[in-house]
């Protein structure tokens, strides 16, 4: 099957029961170079989140989550412990699973852009790994074969102002959708 044919077959059916401040989904995706599609988006706790699929080859796909904090806010690294450092911060996480039977199989670890850096806070036992202010994209690789897969995404993040003050963390927010290729 050609890349263009595969791209025209992708569509998204949302079956999430969650209500978000803003939510969007494409029910019928049209081919467009470079074959990247917005699957879901929402804004919560001063961060806009976009979930995208990018068809790379006839059998390879990338799923990504881009977290864009409001101006003046930053996010914490994926490398931070689940409950932060001495309770401060939460990691930015993008966990993807697929219900069986699945036509999509995720592999490898999450990659992140941009790279995080450490901030020293003398009140904490070790440095805080944070991303620079601005968008952060986490990506997972996958292989697919034609058919439908029920995808479950769990997101965790916490935004903080560079001059102090943080939002309530979003922890293990679940999004579900069917990806048909």
Contacts of residue 163, Cβ cutoff 8 Å, sequence gap at least 6: 72
Q: Which of 119-128, 135-144, 156-165 has the highest mean pLDDT?
A: 135-144
**Residue whose structure tokens are 């039977």:** 101
Q: Which of 172, 147, 181, 176 is nearest to 40 (CA)?
A: 176
Q: Is 151 helix (H, G, I), strand (E, B) or coil?
A: strand
Average of pLDDT values for 109-127? 92
Percent of the chain topping pLDDT 70: 81
Which DSSP category does 24 fall into? B
On whether the CB atoms of residues 120 and 129 are closer than 8 A, the answer is: no
Q: How many domains is the chain built from? A: 1
| pLDDT tens digits, 30-43 | 444 457 889 999 99
Domain that holds residue 33: 3-180
């Amino acid at each position: 099957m050609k890349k263009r044919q595969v791209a025209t077959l992708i569509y998204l059916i949302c079956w999430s029961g969650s209500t978000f401040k803003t939510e969007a989904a494409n029910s019928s995706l049209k081919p467009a170079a470079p074959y990247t599609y917005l699957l879901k988006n929402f804004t919560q706790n001063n961060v806009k989140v976009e979930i995208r699929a990018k068809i790379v080859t006839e059998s390879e796909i990338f799923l990504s989550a881009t977290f864009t904090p409001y101006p003046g806010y930053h996010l914490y690294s994926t490398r931070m412990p689940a409950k932060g450092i001495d309770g401060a911060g939460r990691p930015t996480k993008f966990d993807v699973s697929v219900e069986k039977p699945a036509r999509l199989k995720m592999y490898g670890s999450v990659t992140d852009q941009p790279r995080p850096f450490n901030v020293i806070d003398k009140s904490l036992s070790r440095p805080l790994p944070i991303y620079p202010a601005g968008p952060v994209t986490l990506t997972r690789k996958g292989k697919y074969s034609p058919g439908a897969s029920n995808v479950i995404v769990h997101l965790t993040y916490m935004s903080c102002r560079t001059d102090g003050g943080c939002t309530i963390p979003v922890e293990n927010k679940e999004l579900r959708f069917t990806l048909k290729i």
